Chains A and B, each alone.
Chain A
Amino acid sequence: MTILPYLVAAFLLLAGLAGAVISRDLIRTIVALSVAQSGTYVLLLGIGWRRGGSAPVFADVDPGTRTVDPIVQALCLTDVVVGATVLSLLLALAVKVHQSSGSRDPDALTELGG
């Protein structure tokens, strides 16, 4: 019984948000967002953790063995997939921004261009 994983998750989320706001480089903003998102992985796995539980795969252990909660692990898998796809879209946007304006500093992007 502990709340340490929750605190780590909160720290990752806050650190990622802070990094996204103060960053001066679009790539670093995207990395900071993915740090913030990894907080959600830690939170989900922390919720599902059962002390002494093994992986919820019963291929070589008896049914009824102590395992961690499989539902949040499945949700975490969804989370990872969504995270990776959003990351790739954001990186593609950053590439296009850099091509059209020649800069990766979000503060330098002050005007819209066609």
Chain B
Amino acid sequence: MTRQVRTGLLVVGLLGFGALLVAALLAAPPSGRESHPYGDAASQISVQRQNTPNVISSINFDQRGFDTLGEEFLLFASVLGAIVLLRPTPGDKQVEVSDAPEPLDAVRALGVLLLPVVVLVGFYVVATGHLSIGGGFQGGVILATGIHLLFLAGDYKALRRVRPLPLVDVDDVVGAFGYIVVGLVGVAMGGAFLQNTLPLGTFNTLFSAGTVDLLSVAIGIEVGSGMILLLGEFLEQALGSQSSASSSGAGT
């Protein structure tokens, strides 16, 4: 198929699809409306029955905790997939890791200054997922980003030392299976899998909301180590090994 034919088909298809899509959206309930019965019900359950101020965490880790289990293993599987795809192939030759080009002094200073702050914020966001905005997913990404400030500050070797990838592998598994273990606590207490059977504590304090915070921490470990593994694989790909094909591929 030539480019012209393909573009022509694209225009026709997009016009038709766009017209149907807009027609459907015009008939949908408009944005900004007053009535959200399911959302109100979820808020009520979260605050009044489950003692969880952050309704989104309550939905993710309590009301539909089983869905989040699936989501977590989706993340796990895709990290695994990326590692398998990016593994060194026989054609690659390992070269000694060299640091990336020297960064500006300002970037280096900012990276070193922000590193502890960002990592601390990451821990905070993971640990208080049931109370304030955030939770395991967001905090895990902040943690992984914080550690990679070391790379931005120009010290790839230091980054490799603070996150030995085989240990992070174990972390990833701990996060994934921690979620299941917390779920089994519900069974052990005589309830259903992932049922929130732990004491709910006092509203709006750190040790409250039962399993919500534990699941949030498990997800934080899983997401943080998953992100570190992913970024680590891509960085190794770019800096650590040089494949014969890409080096002969004329610097495209």
Contact = CB atoms under 8 A, between A and B. Distances in A.
Contacts of A93: 85
A28 to B, nearest CB: 14
B137 A81 contact: yes
B78 interface: yes
A77 B245 contact: no
Q: What class of interface size applies to chain A in its complex with B? A: 35 or more
Nearest to A56: B55
Contact of B43 (A49, A67, A81, A92): A67
Interface residues of B, number: 62
A16 B2 CA distance: 21
A4 to B, nearest CB: 7
Contact of A56 (B39, B67, B86): B39
A85 interface: yes
Contact of A21 (B10, B230, B249): B10
Given A10-B25, A55-B133, A56-B39, A4 B31 contact: yes
B211 interface: no
Interface stretch (B56-64, B96-104, B156-164, B188-196): B56-64
B42 A2 contact: no
Contacts of B78: 85-86, 88-89
Contacts of B119: none
B53 A57 contact: yes
Nearest to A1: B30
Interface in A1-37: 1-7, 9-10, 13-14, 17-18, 21-22
A73 B56 contact: yes
A103 interface: yes
Contacts of A92: 81-82, 85-86, 233-234
Given A57-B133, A74-B64, A99-B246, A88 B25 contact: no
B207 to A, nearest CB: 15
Interface in A56-114: 56-59, 63, 67-74, 77-78, 80-82, 85-86, 88-89, 91-93, 95-96, 98-104, 107
A77 to B, nearest CB: 6
Interface in B137-166: 137
B34 A50 contact: yes
Contact of B234 (A4, A63, A91, A98): A91
A111 to B, nearest CB: 15
B223 to A, nearest CB: 8
B59 A74 contact: yes
A2 B31 contact: yes
A85 B79 contact: yes
Q: Which 10 A-B pairs have the closest CB atoms?
A: A69-B39, A102-B249, A85-B78, A6-B25, A70-B55, A59-B53, A74-B59, A56-B55, A92-B85, A51-B32
Given A57-B56, A58-B46, A95-B237, 12 more contacts: A1-B30, A1-B31, A4-B31, A10-B21, A13-B21, A48-B39, A69-B39, A72-B39, A74-B56, A81-B137, A85-B75, A98-B252
20 contacts: A1-B31, A1-B32, A1-B33, A14-B18, A14-B21, A21-B6, A56-B54, A57-B54, A58-B53, A63-B48, A67-B55, A71-B38, A71-B39, A85-B74, A85-B79, A88-B82, A89-B81, A99-B246, A100-B245, A102-B248
